[in-house]
Structure 1
Amino acid sequence: MTELGLYLTKKSVNKAEIARRTGISKARLTQLTNNTSTKLTAEELWKIALAIDIAPGSLLNEICGHIQLPQIG
Structure 2
Amino acid sequence: MEKETLTKLGLYLAKKSVNKADVARKTKLSTYRLSQLSINPKSHLRVDELYLIALAIEADPGELLATICKDVKLPAGSK
Q: TM-score, with normalisation over the residues of structure 2? A: 0.87
Task: Name the one with the larger helix percent.
Answer: 1
Superposition RMSD on alpha carbons, in Å? 1.3
- How many equivalent residue pairs? 73
Cα deviation digits, residues 17-48 of structure 1 (max 9, x gap): 00000000000001100000110001000000
2:54 is the counterpart of 1:54: no
Larger radius of gyration: 2
- TM-score normalised by length of structure 1: 0.93
Unpaired runs of 5+ residues, structure 1, are none
Give unmatched runs, 5+ long, in structure 2: 1-5
Flag as ranges the 4+ runs of structure 1 deviating above 6 A: none
The CA deviation at 1:68 is: 1.0
